[in-house]
A and B are shown apart, each in its own frame.
Chain A
Amino acid sequence: MHKAPRMRAFAWAAILSAATVCQADGGSSSPQEFTQIERGRYLSILSDCSGCHTVPGGKPFAGGRAIETPFGNIVSPNITSDLETGIGTWTDDQFDAALRKGIGRTGAHIYPAMPYNAYTQMSRDDVLAIRAYLNSLQPVRQSRNANTLPFPFNIRSAMAVWNALYFKAGDYKPDPAKSAEWNRGKFIVDGPAHCGACHTPKTLLGGDRKDQYLQGANLQGWSAPDITNSRRAGLGNWTVEDVATYLKTGHNRVTAATGPMAEAVDLSTSRMTDEDRAAIATYLKSLPGKDESGSAPVDANVMAAGGSIYRDQCSACHGIEGKGVPHLFPSLADSAMVRSNDPTTVIRMVLRGARSVGTKGEPTAPGMPSYGWQLDDRQVTAVLNYVRNSWGGAAPSIDAGRVTRVRSDTASRSD
């Protein structure tokens, strides 16, 4: 049975939990006020709360989703206002401390899978607006399963050390030298949208590598691309409009969102305002990134073999010239993702295929089929080296061992 639509519009008429115990602080607006709830709803979209706190197809914000980290799986908690299993009895101070300081209700540290290091840039009012919104929804009684972190990561107090190294609390401070739009973009990117959680490389301890800010990272069996303005690896060949269209619809003239980004588009960016998407695009396009041309010529035999495989298997959709069909089949000729230094995603795409996101603006949601059953590791290597180094593009050579590793790493993952 296919019950198609995902629960998406949370159309609950503000059912206020009778036991809503949060005390409004003096000065902040009432948590029952429409303006406050609506602001919180939108901030929860910017923050993509449901990405982690809603199991796909499950009850909104009831938690229970396993979040994969390099240290083990962390299961998201129930953030509905249920008294026993949710956050119904939390005070506003406790809620604020959790979101912006990473301190749980009992005073224990929260794992930074919850991006408090980004959310800290929001204000207390922002965070309490989110609370007001959550309180307006139907409480769901649903306990969570325990985390599956191995020792020593199961010791929460270790997070104090982590915080000392990687966490800097504080609201967003606008840069007066920049435009309001740029500042809005930076606030969203670094704050609620926590883009760096996926797109900034991490240290061994999972902290951001500040020097490689938004230059692409590897997580959950995918390589998240460089989203700075780098010409080769990043958004350098996209216009601001291209970025905004991608965030709105999951598709643009070059590429399509798949994997974890498909979910971020579905739950978050496609539901933002056009102004906020433009602000994000403006900010990301202002980041110079790095521009190294780190490629060596690929063996001519590999190119010839790859070209033949490309012609047979890929060209029907992506075209002999690699241009694809705008908004339907990605342009391999123009895709920075295809040529990214970390080829995990592009290897994965060939091996396993992927479904692009369907949105209101682009409902088609075309898919890339799997070729992993048909092409062996050497063939995948050849065709990718061909694609990465054709039509004027250049990228570091991939060896077959890399394909083998991605094949085994993704074998047991869901799509």
Chain B
Amino acid sequence: MSRRLPRKDVVIVGFGWTGAIIANELTDEGLDVIALERGPWRDAPTDFPPGYMQDELRYRIRHELFLRPDQLTFTFRNNMGQTALPIRSWGAFMPPNGVGGGGVHWNAEMWRFLPSDFVLKTHLTERYGAAFLPADMTIQDWGVTYDELEPHYDRFEYLCGTSGTAGNLRGKIRDGGNPFEGPRSRPYPTPAQAQPFSHTLFGKAARELGYKPFPQPSGNLSQAYTNPLGLRLGPCTYCGFCEWFGCSNYSKASPQTTILPFLIRKSNFSLRDNSEVIRINVDRSGKRATGVTFVDSSGEEWEQQADLVILSAYALFNVQLLLHSQIGQPYDPVTNTGVVGRNYTHQTISSVNGFFDNKKFNFNPFIASGSIGMCIDEFNGDNFDHGPHGFVGGGYVGQVQTGARPIESTLVPPGTPSWGAEWKKAVKDNYLSTVKPGTGVHGSFYAYRDIYLDLDPTYKDRFGRPLMRITMDLKENEIKQNKFLTDKFAEIVKAMGAEKLAVQYRTAPYDITTYQTTHLNGGAIMGTDPKTSVLNRYLQSWDVPNLFVMGASAFPQNAGYNPTLTVGALAYWSAAAIRNQYLKNPGRLVDA
């Protein structure tokens, strides 16, 4: 029996980027808001101090900032014919945990999606015909357009102080930026970050090959910045410890640096950490959420009632909570019915490492930031004619090397022994003269009928609930897309002057053990039809109108960009709908 806490106007489940955005927006509206966070409280100066934050063993290898699988994990299989097994050590992706969520330890790459990405099904069908798409591909339009999201993209960019060079300012294409981006209403708030040697060399090589390279938009700031909430950020020091790490210099946009110090001053906001929500409660009709039930670190169960429930956990946990709460019909790939768990996607990434003559090239590769880089966008989305290539989708490619942290930066050219004196010598010879772009090829991942999330029939979590099961593989379309992009990328790295290349294509089967990105999407997607989406265009549950679900779980499929800027823009878009429409007349914002 759970103990009941005083009722609130709003309960927020999960306190990362979207939880913080929504909390700030709805407290501005005068609502009494409580946020519940499964993990610990984390604050910039006390939890990410420069004295020890740059510890690769502690944070990268030992995963200090992430969820522990023994607290909660998933089962995994590649296809419906297999038996899924629990993930006991994180590999392909890293579930965040704690206040700030993934916003603490991200790289802060701040990409907008293309206008055509939001109307993908319509766009591709019109251009190539329905028959061009694989039969089992289940891509769909988002229900929201780029133009509708633009002010919200802008808002999130200015909250973060994003450093970049505009490529399309109000429809006017500008040199030095991404000429393929959708029109932006304002320039970036701060100029692009300075680019280290290898990144600059990539830009030069790409330009000479006829491409239009531009600096990657960055949430690691090129200069000091004061955001619209009055919070101050410092200039990035290019220390090269962003992804997996908190920023010790107030230079990386995170909930801690851009929202929390402002938010926690409000008397109508409160937060409980170490509080794991296990269920969204609904009334007898099943059409109204009454609040949530959570468990504290003593194992005590509490009920927090609220008029409005905001689900803003990491994508997978959003879907899992909906399944456990029996909100929305679970997806069944056999009958192709139901919605919760449908259109689960990831990111198709690969890389090409380039080995250069160490007498001519010293890249000082440790000088970097998580979102440093020179990129090209010629092969993203539908920026090029896919007709001759037999696949859809694409991605940006670029030299986006985020540092050269010692444990993971021991690259040696192909053919080097994997241990011993010769290996050691090769590590030493190549450390300063290797280009290691990490996710240099950053491709889209489209949705398929038999790639999905559901509840596992066998394995249970510590509360006795079924684990969520991931069924995920790489399809021919993505494999072709990746081969095409990786080859294009390799040409540019070669043109930089590399003597040897190590080309790594993304291939099937999908590998759950090696890190790709944490860009998991879908499972609780937005759309225009309740038969094929969990949420309407405002991220409102079709079934339970006082429940809104934030995050990349709403993406119908993934574009060839990092998702966070779009996740943040959608949160502002949804918050605006709640503030301007829902609160005046609580109920469905879109008729089904």
Contacts and interface: CB of A to CB of B under 8 A. Distances in A.
Interface of A: 1-5, 8-9, 313, 316-317, 325-329, 353, 355, 358, 360-371, 373-374
Interface in B226-274: 226, 229-235, 237, 239, 248-250, 261-267, 269-273
Contacts of A358: 261, 265
B44 interface: yes
A366 B229 CA distance: 15
B388 interface: no
A261 to B, nearest CB: 18
Nearest to A354: B45
A327 B237 CA distance: 18
B45 A368 contact: yes
User: Main SS of chain B's interface residues?
Assistant: loop
B221 to A, nearest CB: 11
Interface string B41-53: 1001110011110
Q: Which 4 A-B pairs have the closest CB atoms?
A: A367-B45, A4-B264, A369-B49, A328-B232
B265 A355 contact: no
A370 B230 CA distance: 26
Contacts of A316: 50, 237, 239, 248-249
B44, B226, B230, B235: residue with the most chain A Cβ atoms closer than 10 Å: B230
B31 interface: no
Interface of B: 41, 44-46, 49-52, 224, 226, 229-235, 237, 239, 248-250, 261-267, 269-273
B51 A355 contact: no
Given A328-B250, A364-B231, A5 B51 contact: no
A329 to B, nearest CB: 6
Contacts of B273: 1-2
Contacts of A369: 45-46, 49-51, 248
A263 to B, nearest CB: 16
A345 B266 CA distance: 31
A362 B233 CA distance: 12
A1 B261 contact: no
A4 B269 contact: yes
A5 B232 contact: no
A326 B233 CA distance: 11
Contacts of B230: 361-364
Given A328-B234, A365-B261, A2 B269 contact: no
A4 to B, nearest CB: 3
Given A358-B261, A367-B46, A2 B232 contact: no
B266 A4 contact: yes
Contacts of A353: 45, 49
A1, A8, A326: residue with the most chain B Cβ atoms closer than 10 Å: A1
A55 to B, nearest CB: 18
Contact of A5 (B46, B226, B234, B267): B267
A366 B46 CA distance: 10
A316 to B, nearest CB: 5
B577 to A, nearest CB: 26
Contacts of B269: 4-5
Contact of B234 (A313, A329, A363): A329
A316 B264 CA distance: 27
A327 B227 CA distance: 13
Contact of B45 (A1, A8, A327, A366): A366
Given A316-B248, A317-B249, A367-B45, A1 B272 contact: yes
A4 B45 contact: no
A327 B226 CA distance: 10
B261 A364 contact: yes
B270 A4 contact: yes
Contacts of B49: 353, 369-370
A321 B248 CA distance: 19
A4 B263 contact: yes
Given A325-B235, A366-B250, A5 B265 contact: yes
A1 B300 CA distance: 14
B50 A360 contact: no
7 contacts: A1-B271, A4-B271, A5-B269, A325-B234, A329-B234, A362-B230, A363-B229
B462 to A, nearest CB: 22
B175 to A, nearest CB: 30
Contacts of A362: 230, 232
Nearest to A365: B261
Nearest to A249: B230
A8 B267 CA distance: 9
Contacts of A325: 224, 232, 234-235
Given A325-B224, A371-B51, 8 more contacts: A1-B272, A5-B264, A316-B239, A358-B261, A364-B232, A365-B261, A370-B51, A374-B51
B578 to A, nearest CB: 22
B45, B224, B261, B271: residue with the most chain A Cβ atoms closer than 10 Å: B45
A368 B44 CA distance: 10
A363 B231 contact: yes
B50 A366 contact: no
B262 A363 contact: yes
